[in-house]
Chains A and B, each alone.
Chain A
Amino acid sequence: MGHTPRYKEPQPMSTLEVSPADSLPGQPSHSVTNDFSIQVATVNGSGSQTANSVLLRAIFQMGIPVSGKNMFPSNIAGLPTWFTIRVSKYGYIGRRKEIDFLVAMNPETAREDVMKLDSGAAVVYDEPLKLNELRSDVHFFPIPFDKLVAPVCPDAKLRKLVRNMIYDGVVAKLLGIEMEEIHKALLKQFGTKKAKAAELNWGACQAGFEYATKTFTGRLRFNLERMNETAGKIIIDGNAACALGCMFAGCTVVTWYPITPSSSLVETMIGYMKRFRLDPETGKATFAIVQAEDELASIGMALGAGWAGARSMTATAGPGISLMSEFIGLGYYAERPTVVFNVERVGPSTGLPTRTAQSDLISTALLSHGDTKHPMFFPASPAECFSMSIDAFEFAEKFQTPVFVMTDLDLGMNNWTSDAFAYPEKPIDRGKVLSAEDLEKLGGFARYRDVDGDGVGYRTLPGTNHPAASYFTRGSGHNDKAQYTEREDDYVNNMDRLAHKFEVMRQFVPVPVIQEAKGASIGFIAIGTSDCAVRESCDQLRDEYRIAASYLRLKAYPFTNDMLEFIRRHDRVYVVDQNRDAQLLGLMRLELDADLIAKLRSVRYYGGLPLDARTVTDDIVKQEGK
């Protein structure tokens, strides 16, 4: 046939009404392979998560770089949820603003979702919603979900949960996802214990596939083709990656209080610890995980455990950080190691609890009253969540202070494609802890004396069987022997030593990642999940605007000398912040010289969604006056 319709003309018995693809305005003639985004709009609590995960995993299994972002409400059931899958043969895994393929399952938002699409997009929708009436420049694929689900799921009660799997089959057909991969992903999702559920869902999936095969015969502009870019990789969310990091760091005491988006960090850890951290001989636990009554208690327990020798941790989000403020000051001043995971969400106050932000930077860096400052680590990927969690425990014990691992909802709760994690090769180092034998040799010790010049004193653990072991830990003024004092010189000496210790940390924090662009007069500085958007934006600026931009990704606070050098090398440096008040830039202002501060510019996004490259690029282009 000379004319190949992109899909079959409507059948007489169907209500399908579509405009012929060729008549669509602004339709590029070329097809797009492995470079587009899919959005699934559903109602919270409808069981769509399984269907979405299966789609994501099937694409992953086809070797195509893929990422998934869940945009969900702070609610258990009934409010709108969007899941966006981005496939990118170039390996871009940040959020993409433009949606190319919509699965509209939520009557509440369907109209708005359709109206937001660019021309030429495709829409799979629940037939009774009649979305095809809305506009003529997108492709519509109506699916009679209720009719299809009934025969494959005789139990009416289960239909609501199985119904969404139908769109997996439809999408598989329309985009060219291999059904064997869908099946494999589905079995993986349900595991061996839920074989019956898997079978039921597979039936629904097939029904969707068959219906689409029968009804829509043409090819869509977008399609997926097998690649080999995911071999050996894993799919994991950042919270699970942090949990694994904690387990391999040798964490022994976990005290926590549930809060979105950090809860799954500890919940996942509970699962892994029960499998891999029971003593093989006795079956007894080498760890304690305690759900505290609030964040005041969870951080207090973590500090108590750190004092008594444990690698302790807690996980929380902004409101919990605020509550922990007083105790963190004690941790800083009395020099107690612990690790705090701050999975950031949108504040202030309750804010948008299920949306992402990097807006606790200043409050965390300077948490508590008096002169306090705390090291923060900024992982940007699951692999870094794993390795930097381990680093954080080492760092906390090396410097005897609370360490914050700053992730966010995007990194913590979304599924990411990641390289497999590398086993920690460095043996565990518990820092400066004196044993009874050490004390016998030394004859005694002064807890807060800077013996080695790094600002870190030696400590002993309660239970150490030696008359010289004990000392008194307090948040009130103390001299180097840990004795109570209100003397001016004792106070100043102690505070100066703490400041010196913070300076020493600069040499030991994870170093920044630098991507230099040839001849670049401008540069980016960013942290954490801004990474995907900034890297893509660098390419957009180069390819679309001939702007060369270098990029330094910070992995930690306090800042290092590399950052200063980077700023010096560039005329203007854009500091990317996922918050309103340019907090990362603000922290830099606190310690940079005026000539460097003068070079800093701000790029900010604070709408609660994962940062996308286009937002960054547009802002730079504007600021650069191009």
Chain B
Amino acid sequence: MSTTTTPPPAKKVNHIGLEVINYKGSKTTLCAGCGHNSISERVIEAFYELGVEPWTVAKFSGIGCSSKSPAYFLGLSHGFNGVHGRMPAIATGALLANSTLMGIGVSGDGDTASIGLGQFMHMVRRNIPLIYIIEDNGVYGLTKGQFSATANIGSTLKTGTVNDLPPFDCCALALKWGATFVARSFSGDKRQLQAILKTAIAHRGLSVIDVISPCVTFNDHVGSTKSYSYMKEHETVLHELDFVPHFQEIAVDIPEGEVMDVEMHDGSHLRIRKLDRDYDPTNRLAAGAILEEAEAKGEVLTGVLYVNPLKPTFIEQLNLVDVPIGTLPESKIRPSREVLEQIMEELR
């Protein structure tokens, strides 16, 4: 009998010592093959790889298939599944109460662009510090396949019904009215989506990420413009993305001129490698133009459309104390007896 034992293999952990399992949630109840499940996987990877402390994260969602997904990632984070289209209000309130939380919200195209368009736009206008993911499949899944407001004109339902209204482009809306990080991706593009999510984690203001996420049950047929096959044919990738977290050194072996570097608020870097065209995602006007151009060509443009790491957020503009206001002690939130007496005297 041997007296030596082989030590168990060391568990793989991130830089704060947590395993990937610490970033998982409960088992998904969405359909097999649903794009939303891939997005949940990318969220788990991004938070794990960046070593975000899960208990500092607050998850938000509205109503719909997409809005179920926060239950499927970051089980150690608090989550709030609100009412249809009104997740931005809940997230705004929570972040006012505790501005040290990192907020991540998952919405759908119905939840954002139909019932929730008003709250979406006001969240954009305020530049709320939130990672806002739109799991965009152009269709209402939970109610069995009606069009949403992001469905393209001319696209069809499974029943053959043709959509005769133009879509809202949530990226264009976000870009125009104040979001400071705007990206579009595809649930099937693991590498790109992961880099975009990591950038959003490092970003200080509102990140709007529109992820085309096919609905395998109700909108993956010929005639759909949000299907896997349609994306295969029409996706135009804007650039290659690398995300270098602040705790990693940047390798310097990339030739000058080929790569654009954007330093994020937390010291991380987004490195953008040019593909077919020159594109500067810090130029908001150019972002607007390129979206128009892609629409005219029938392309689904993916990548980072716009990033502005500097603009202060709504919460920062409120000049709040540095600790969460919601849990300040009584000494900070109840003025003294003398203050009440002073006010009474003024009213006599």
Instruction: Give the interface of A toward B (CB within 8 A).
Output: 232-236, 244, 247-253, 255, 272, 276-277, 279, 282, 284-288, 290, 292-294, 296-312, 326-327, 330, 420-421, 423-424, 427-428, 460-467, 469-476, 483-484
Which residue of A235, A298, A310, A475 is within 8 Å of B326 (Cβ)? A310
Contacts of A472 in B (CB 8 A): 70-71, 78-81
Which residue of A244, A290, A463, A473 is within 8 Å of B98 (Cβ)? A463
Contacts of A248 in B (CB 8 A): 334-335, 340
- 27 of the cross-chain contacts (CB-CB < 8 Å) are A234-B344, A235-B347, A236-B347, A244-B343, A251-B333, A252-B328, A253-B325, A282-B321, A286-B332, A288-B318, A296-B118, A300-B93, A301-B90, A306-B93, A307-B80, A308-B101, A308-B324, A327-B86, A421-B344, A460-B78, A461-B78, A461-B326, A462-B58, A463-B55, A463-B58, A473-B80, A474-B81
Contacts of B262 in A (CB 8 A): none
Whether a CB of chain A sits under 8 angstroms from the CB of B339 is: yes
Contacts of B14 in A (CB 8 A): none
For the complex, what is the distance from the CA of A424 to the CA of B54, rounded to whole Å? 38
CB atoms of B97 and A252 under 8 A apart: yes
Closest residue of A by beta carbon distance from B58: A462
Most buried by B among A276, A293, A311: A293
CB proximity to A under 8 Å, residues B301-348 = 315, 318-322, 324-328, 330, 332-335, 337, 339-340, 343-344, 347-348
| A256 to B: closest C-beta gap in Å | 12
Digitize B164-182: 1 where CB-to-A-CB distance is under 8 Å, 0 elsewhere: 0000000000000000000
CB atoms of A293 and B93 under 8 A apart: no
Whether a CB of chain A sits under 8 angstroms from the CB of B158 is: no
For the complex, what is the distance from the CA of A572 to the CA of B290, rounded to whole Å? 77
CB atoms of B334 and A300 under 8 A apart: no
Contacts of A249 in B (CB 8 A): 334
For the complex, what is the distance from the CA of A221 to the CA of B93, rounded to whole Å? 59
CB proximity to A under 8 Å, residues B216-268 = none
| A487 to B: closest C-beta gap in Å | 15
Known: A244-B343, A255-B92, A470-B78. 6 other contacts (CB 8 A): A290-B96, A308-B94, A310-B98, A461-B326, A465-B53, A475-B82
Most buried by A among B83, B318, B327: B327
Whether a CB of chain A sits under 8 angstroms from the CB of B284 is: no
For the complex, what is the distance from the CA of A471 to the CA of B53, rounded to whole Å? 16
Closest 8 CB pairs of A and B: A300-B89, A304-B93, A310-B326, A301-B93, A310-B97, A250-B333, A462-B78, A309-B326
CB atoms of B326 and A466 under 8 A apart: no
CB atoms of A307 and B55 under 8 A apart: no
| A267 to B: closest C-beta gap in Å | 16
Which residue of A236, A301, A466, A471 is within 8 Å of B92 (Cβ)? A301
CB atoms of A252 and B122 under 8 A apart: no
For the complex, what is the distance from the CA of A616 to the CA of B54, rounded to whole Å? 62
For the complex, what is the distance from the CA of A578 to the CA of B250, rounded to whole Å? 71
For the complex, what is the distance from the CA of A296 to the CA of B87, rounded to whole Å? 11
Instruction: Give the interface of B toward A (CB within 8 A).
Output: 26, 53-56, 58, 60, 70-71, 75-83, 86, 88-98, 100-101, 118-119, 122, 315, 318-322, 324-328, 330, 332-335, 337, 339-340, 343-344, 347-348
CB atoms of B321 and A308 under 8 A apart: no
CB atoms of B55 and A466 under 8 A apart: yes
Which residue of A235, A285, A305, A466 is within 8 Å of B321 (Cβ)? A285
CB atoms of B325 and A287 under 8 A apart: yes
CB atoms of A463 and B332 under 8 A apart: no
Most buried by A among B325, B328, B340: B325
Contacts of B94 in A (CB 8 A): 304-305, 307-308, 462
For the complex, what is the distance from the CA of A250 to the CA of B325, rounded to whole Å? 10
Contacts of A255 in B (CB 8 A): 92-93, 96
Closest residue of B by beta carbon distance from A290: B96
Contacts of A460 in B (CB 8 A): 78
For the complex, what is the distance from the CA of A309 to the CA of B96, rounded to whole Å? 10
Closest residue of A by beta carbon distance from B347: A234
Closest residue of B by beta carbon distance from A281: B321
CB atoms of B78 and A327 under 8 A apart: no
CB atoms of A304 and B92 under 8 A apart: yes
For the complex, what is the distance from the CA of A484 to the CA of B54, rounded to whole Å? 21
Contacts of A304 in B (CB 8 A): 60, 80, 82, 89-97
CB atoms of A253 and B97 under 8 A apart: yes
Contacts of A421 in B (CB 8 A): 340, 344
For the complex, what is the distance from the CA of A484 to the CA of B27, rounded to whole Å? 12
Contacts of B77 in A (CB 8 A): 462, 470
For the complex, what is the distance from the CA of A311 to the CA of B330, rounded to whole Å? 11
Contacts of B80 in A (CB 8 A): 304, 307, 472-474
For the complex, what is the distance from the CA of A427 to the CA of B100, rounded to whole Å? 26
Closest residue of A by beta carbon distance from B126: A290
Contacts of B70 in A (CB 8 A): 472
For the complex, what is the distance from the CA of A326 to the CA of B101, rounded to whole Å? 26
Q: With A234-B348, A252-B328, A294-B118 as given contacts, are A247 and B96 in contact (CB-CB < 8 Å)?
A: no
CB atoms of B340 and A253 under 8 A apart: no
Q: With A307-B80, A462-B101, A463-B55 as given contacts, are A252 and B333 in contact (CB-CB < 8 Å)?
A: yes
| A261 to B: closest C-beta gap in Å | 20
Closest residue of A by beta carbon distance from B55: A465
CB atoms of A330 and B82 under 8 A apart: yes
For the complex, what is the distance from the CA of A423 to the CA of B100, rounded to whole Å? 32
Closest residue of A by beta carbon distance from B320: A285
For the complex, what is the distance from the CA of A232 to the CA of B344, rounded to whole Å? 9
CB atoms of B98 and A309 under 8 A apart: yes
Which residue of B60, B326, B332, B339 is within 8 Å of A305 (Cβ)? B326
CB atoms of B321 and A293 under 8 A apart: no
Which residue of B56, B88, B90, B325 is within 8 Å of A463 (Cβ)? B56
CB atoms of B325 and A469 under 8 A apart: no
Contacts of B53 in A (CB 8 A): 465
Which residue of A296, A483, A484 is within 8 Å of B86 (Cβ)? A296
Q: With A308-B98, A462-B98 as given contacts, are A233 and B86 in contact (CB-CB < 8 Å)?
A: no
| B114 to A: closest C-beta gap in Å | 14
CB atoms of B86 and A424 under 8 A apart: no
Contacts of A282 in B (CB 8 A): 321-322
CB atoms of A428 and B340 under 8 A apart: no
Contacts of A236 in B (CB 8 A): 347
For the complex, what is the distance from the CA of A300 to the CA of B330, rounded to whole Å? 25
CB atoms of A232 and B89 under 8 A apart: no
Contacts of B320 in A (CB 8 A): 284-286, 288
For the complex, what is the distance from the CA of A41 to the CA of B109, rounded to whole Å? 55
Q: With A286-B332, A304-B89 as given contacts, are A232 and B327 in contact (CB-CB < 8 Å)?
A: no
For the complex, what is the distance from the CA of A357 to the CA of B75, rounded to whole Å? 48
Contacts of A232 in B (CB 8 A): 348
Contacts of B332 in A (CB 8 A): 279, 286
| B22 to A: closest C-beta gap in Å | 8
For the complex, what is the distance from the CA of A233 to the CA of B54, rounded to whole Å? 54
Q: With A286-B325, A464-B55 as given contacts, are A473 and B83 in contact (CB-CB < 8 Å)?
A: no
Contacts of B26 in A (CB 8 A): 483
Which residue of B90, B318, B334 is within 8 Å of A250 (Cβ)? B334
Contacts of A471 in B (CB 8 A): 78-79
| A532 to B: closest C-beta gap in Å | 20
For the complex, what is the distance from the CA of A187 to the CA of B88, rounded to whole Å? 47
For the complex, what is the distance from the CA of A304 to the CA of B119, rounded to whole Å? 14
Closest residue of B by beta carbon distance from A420: B344
CB atoms of A476 and B81 under 8 A apart: yes
Contacts of B86 in A (CB 8 A): 296-297, 300, 327
Most buried by A among B75, B92, B337: B92
Most buried by A among B76, B97, B339, B348: B97
Contacts of B55 in A (CB 8 A): 463-467, 469-470
CB atoms of B334 and A428 under 8 A apart: yes
Q: With A309-B327, A330-B83, A465-B55 as given contacts, are A279 and B321 in contact (CB-CB < 8 Å)?
A: yes
For the complex, what is the distance from the CA of A293 to the CA of B128, rounded to whole Å? 14
CB atoms of A463 and B333 under 8 A apart: no
CB atoms of A272 and B343 under 8 A apart: yes
Contacts of B58 in A (CB 8 A): 308, 462-463
